[in-house]
Structure 1
């Protein structure tokens, strides 16, 4: 698929245009309405593929819970008795959808208690309609987002079976949320992993306490524009961090329900680094 079509879809999914305008532009780029219609299933997520780790996997237990007042989400635990580090999984701008639930199960399979938070709890929860979910995400204020994240992390630090150490991993909008959470200096956040997330303002970096793993897609010009200033601020403030840029990969390269943007090589490498990083700082 031509990169300009993927870039158009990225602009659409991040609020750069409404669906009608997107479809008109897509038709123009594809040449015909029929060609545009054929591209849509490749560009959009297919949640029929969102079960790398099934919910009935014998090694885990999974359920929707409310871990603190107004903090609902998907809690997945290893079934074996023991004490485990805890990971807060933060969704993309589509909310707590089947793909993020699957990612949460994957985290649990790696030996963590994992909680996929639903930041749209106050809006009635994540709707099935992705466009509606994106619209609702756009209505959240920065205070609401940070408040939800901090409340979740603080509750997870005391969750039954946890070792008291909490990390956060976020994708796209969620990657930005990890960065925003980190700059608050929340003492209960012990590690953060941000996949292609927007960066915080450089002047806010001094508040960061947790080690960070920052992972970016080489073709993601929109997000990557902020890497240089962010890294300079991290260095200047002597923060612990690692940055990786996966050349040839698009924004959302980890999302294996999206045929147009998923990059298995980048996703596998980034996931291995993510698990090792979280085990290093949370075990």
Structure 2
């Protein structure tokens, strides 16, 4: 796999200066960089330098865009033997990395049609399969806004073997661009799913998580939601003050075990 040179890694301006706890995963033993999907969307991709038929993990970015934290997660998966790819499904409507504050980012995100996002992830999966990935062993993991996308994409593509949404919003404003939310697709879910949420996250209240659990149970969907009682939103984001090392470590281990149990990894 030959990739163009990576553009400079940086964290989103609105997320603040990165904390000392920010993890930096090197590219030793990897092929990693920015590429362009057939439909024109950029994507960050990484895989082991040698070998092939790698399990594929699609990574859905935070609301802050395809910045350094998400790229680092892609590299972490690649170090574990995955072909990991994070398509940038926001950039056509504005660059969250350059937005001055969270409200400016929300204005960008509100414009992004879910239908277009699903198409971009379809392209990313197909592209990964041409770069040494095994499309029959594919999963998605999403963080923050990308957690919402992970739920939706799992409903869109039931051939995925696993879905791991990290603190993705479960309900919100229903608009022409974003007409459905995870609570609306719970009954359609066929992909084994492990949701990882914080119990101290005011943006995703406990009552809403229980509603989601009830809908999943009623539909007999193969899904479980784990809540870390004292963890805030973005507890896995090691570059932010919200980072909770113990919860993040446990959730990462559970996520990897879940992928293995589903035949991915």
Q: TM-score, normalised by structure 1?
A: 0.76
Matched, 1:196 2:196: no
Q: Which moved more, 1:211-220 or 1:118-127?
A: 118-127
- Give the secondary structure class of the aligned counterpart of 2:162: strand
Structure 2, unmatched stretches of 5+, are 1-13, 171-180
Q: Work out whether residues 203 and 233 of structure 2, in 8 Å CA contact, stay in contact via their aligned partners in 1.
A: no
Higher RCO (C-alpha under 8 Å, 6+ residues apart): 2
Aligned-residue offset at 1:81: 1.5
Provide the C-alpha distance between the structure 1 equivalents of 2:96 and 2:184, rounded to a whole number of angstroms: 33
Of 228, 233, 241, which residue of structure 2 is paired with 1:251?
233
- Give the secondary structure class of the aligned counterpart of 2:243: coil
Provide the C-alpha distance between the structure 2 equivalents of 1:257 and 1:45, rounded to a whole number of angstroms: 8
The count of aligned residue pairs is 239
Matched, 1:138 2:110: yes
Of 51, 60, 72, which residue of structure 1 is paired with 2:42?
72
Q: Which moved more, 1:225-234 or 1:45-54?
A: 45-54
Aligned-residue offset at 1:201: 5.2
Matched, 1:215 2:196: yes
Aligned-residue offset at 1:134: 4.3
Q: Which residue of the partner structure matches residue 85 of structure 1?
A: 55
Q: Which moved more, 1:195-204 or 1:125-134?
A: 125-134
Matched, 1:163 2:144: no
Q: Which residue of the partner structure matches residue 227 of structure 1?
A: 209
Q: Work out whether residues 95 and 134 of structure 1, in 8 Å CA contact, stay in contact via their aligned partners in 2.
A: no
Deviations 1:159-182 (A, max 9, x none): 321122211101110001111112
Q: Work out whether residues 86 and 163 of structure 1, in 8 Å CA contact, stay in contact via their aligned partners in 2.
A: yes
Of 65, 69, 81, which residue of structure 2 is paired with 1:95?
65
Q: Which residue of the partner structure matches residue 150 of structure 1?
A: 122
More helix by share: 1
Q: Work out whether residues 118 and 125 of structure 1, in 8 Å CA contact, stay in contact via their aligned partners in 2.
A: no
Q: Work out whether residues 110 and 275 of structure 1, in 8 Å CA contact, stay in contact via their aligned partners in 2.
A: no
Aligned-residue offset at 1:130: 5.5
Aligned-residue offset at 1:126: 5.3
Provide the C-alpha distance between the structure 1 equivalents of 2:154 and 2:41, rounded to a whole number of angstroms: 19
Q: Report which of the two structures shows the higher radius of gyration computed on alpha carbons.
A: 1
Q: Work out whether residues 94 and 130 of structure 1, in 8 Å CA contact, stay in contact via their aligned partners in 2.
A: no
Deviations 1:52-102 (A, max 9, x none): 202xx3221101112322232101011231321000111111110111111
Residue correspondence of structure 1 range 179-194 to structure 2 within 5 A: 179-184=151-156, 186-194=157-165
Q: Which residue of the partner structure matches residue 254 of structure 2?
A: 273
- Give the secondary structure class of the aligned counterpart of 1:68: coil
Q: Which residue of the partner structure matches residue 104 of structure 1?
A: 74
Structure 1, unmatched stretches of 5+, are 1-40
- Give the secondary structure class of the aligned counterpart of 2:37: strand
Provide the C-alpha distance between the structure 2 equivalents of 1:45 and 1:191, rounded to a whole number of angstroms: 33
Q: TM-score, normalised by structure 2?
A: 0.81
Q: Work out whether residues 153 and 189 of structure 1, in 8 Å CA contact, stay in contact via their aligned partners in 2.
A: no
Q: Work out whether residues 23 and 238 of structure 2, in 8 Å CA contact, stay in contact via their aligned partners in 1.
A: no
Q: Which residue of the partner structure matches residue 176 of structure 2?
A: none
